[in-house]
Structure 1
């Protein structure tokens, strides 16, 4: 306990943490698979995966060994000054596993860098300057990525932002901005992109940027046909389609990338988080004719394509494929979704259960008018933590319980998660 107190004291005195509303009172000592262990010895089932990062589970031995072997050979040389084998091999693997004709990759260190680089390349290729993205979206915390983020809570106190950005309504079916129902709306939110192009832009749109499944906005899966409609509209206007798979990629939704649940082949795709199972790495990939639009001096990254991170990423992809983790994500997602959908019928606190694979969200409401129950969501998280299960809380309204465990979670572990979560929800609903 003393070590835990010492760590908190060091955080308070030497780290900038005032931008965090409140830490979980857990000091992590070690982790393995789906479990994290605190310095006090308490064990937790981790259903947040470091914000959807350790898709292959904490400290997967094959991935750790790949990183260790590379550490003994080479840590850094700068991938964009000297030829380095690992980034080249990883770029080839990404070309093999991504949809459509995506082929050439650029490596950075984070999701925000990936999105910002993709935006820059799209502008360079098209010769256009404007962008369209979605409300409730989140694309990073740099100036450009916050500019296209459609979430006031993430953007406050950091403007002014980049000009030339328009936002279309997100496919938030539970809180449809048009007041329509999914079975009869004719994808009004997708159709409205046409209006955005006509009346919110100057006709100079380089790209549309959309998450394969919106994460920070509240786990919002686009309805069938949504992105197909959007892609048709924006391409007819001469713009490119950028899929942001930073959070939804690498098996999280039961497919390698969430956009594969649609018939859309992106022009560019952004990746990070699960790409190297915890090692810092980001990337964007595009078709060759788009990638070649960069000219000398247009872009670079000192640490991008770090050999150790690339070794971990190659091992991550191998583990995802060889250990059947995409299929497990789909199966465990159906298992958890089934339990929670049944529970929703008898718990009015749960307004909506949604998601794909192991990217699931429960939106909590305090009444039939769908008043956001943010306070109750925080209390549910606390009760789950005390019972040994770590969940996230997010959404634009702060009222969504987020379940994003490692894709290695077993059926028995998934049942325990559901038992703990439904018990917490029951108790909070009574209160």
Structure 2
């Protein structure tokens, strides 16, 4: 029996958290480790389109999409139906034991979509971090080299290997070392803070790669085309193209980590397209299956085939239920022209904050693409990051029924990752709640500046 559609409007019937949510939080704090610390006071009951309804009947505007996951909405009918049908047939066989054609169908769809020319092959996995780890394995197997270079402000995961690639210490790395060896970090491009052109930043990066690692030792360079957790940093124009050019000239693979930027999020299917680059390997997750646990490494056929038989895989990798969701989600993205909708979301967010910026110089940088946008807040005189202010705004917004996220190496970035299917009026309302809170803080001298 079908349910009534969830009303796409914000509504608070209790304070947040409400009585049921408080009871659930008490139980959570008893049985779930403190290291897991959900930021939103509500507990989800239903999620549809751009609205999350909680257990107390409150409706919140969702500007986070489960951290860029539920691109087509958390309960799109086509995805739900595909999952139901697959569950009725079978939930698991393990592709390495008994294969099923939907796995290959999804690999074929990825071949058609990714910005890699020629034949590609794909291995399906469970999470973004697992995709990154496997991309590293593949790169080392293909090149016969060991070193991997990542960038300042990078985020690539929370496993032992991917923590070594991730830049930010707290909360991702602190007290968890030692990390995997032969992982190196080099400066990238952060136009707001380094003031360098793409060519200048690339020259600095290449100098570091050559002097600190050496091309003869370097298996791969890995980078997010737009750095996510680091603060939605869009590199200066031409930066990535120059780095990729150097990689190709020196037999170094380039891995594009598109876990967050992939699947129409930035207004194109993949952010690498906008940068005009062709990766050797691309890591995918988050939006690939709209909330079902699925990830992939897709790469040039000769690179992927360098690994010996049995060298890639895993019990749950490419689970048939998740694959069904992935195939359906991609179909929805195509049918509903979500690349165009993502582009429109970026225009709305940019226009909104440009208006705010005219009166509030703390809004120092507005950046991103499509439905992956951010604003960096700083002290106008010193450019010092306003991390406490950003946290204050996010906390208050959640209390007022707007789920928003923070980011940045310095913790001073508000980031916006709404479901791409969100209605424009709902999006604008959520943004207005946030900027009203921001305006209220202008006269609050108690907000400290975090250097």
Structure 1: unaligned runs, 5 residues or longer: none
Aligned to 2:146: 129
Determine which of 329, 334, 337 is the counterpart of 2:342.
Answer: 329
| TM-score computed with the length of structure 1 as normaliser | 0.95
Equivalence map 1:59-208=2 (5 Å): 59-101=75-117, 103-153=120-170, 154-176=172-194, 181-182=195-196, 185=197, 187-202=199-214, 203-208=216-221
Q: Tell me if the contact between 1:242 and 1:270 (Cα under 8 Å) persists in the aligned partners.
A: yes
Residue 186 (structure 1) shift: 5.3
Determine which of 288, 307, 312 is the counterpart of 1:299.
Answer: 312
Residue 334 (structure 1) shift: 0.8
Residue 223 in structure 1 maps to residue 223 in structure 2: no
CA–CA distance in 1 between the matches of 2:241 and 2:234?
14
Residue 82 (structure 1) shift: 1.2
Q: Tell me if the contact between 2:198 and 2:239 (Cα under 8 Å) persists in the aligned partners.
A: no
Determine which of 250, 274, 289 is the counterpart of 1:276.
Answer: 289
Q: Tell me if the contact between 2:21 and 2:41 (Cα under 8 Å) persists in the aligned partners.
A: no
| TM-score computed with the length of structure 2 as normaliser | 0.91
Q: Tell me if the contact between 2:41 and 2:398 (Cα under 8 Å) persists in the aligned partners.
A: no
Determine which of 29, 39, 47 is the counterpart of 1:31.
Answer: 47
Count of residues paired in the alignment: 424
Which stretch of the first structure deviates more once superposed, 364-373 or 399-408?
364-373
CA–CA distance in 2 between the matches of 1:18 and 1:147?
20
Q: Tell me if the contact between 1:349 and 1:425 (Cα under 8 Å) persists in the aligned partners.
A: no
**CA RMSD after TM alignment:** 1.4
CA–CA distance in 1 between the matches of 2:358 and 2:173?
36
CA–CA distance in 1 between the matches of 2:299 and 2:221?
14
Residue 58 in structure 1 maps to residue 74 in structure 2: yes
Question: CA offsets, 1:195-237, max 9 Å, x none?
Answer: 1222211531000001021100001112211110010112222
Residue 238 (structure 1) shift: 1.3
Residue 171 (structure 1) shift: 1.4
CA–CA distance in 1 between the matches of 2:338 and 2:198?
35
Q: Tell me if the contact between 1:29 and 1:37 (Cα under 8 Å) persists in the aligned partners.
A: yes
SS of the residue 2:179 aligns to:
coil
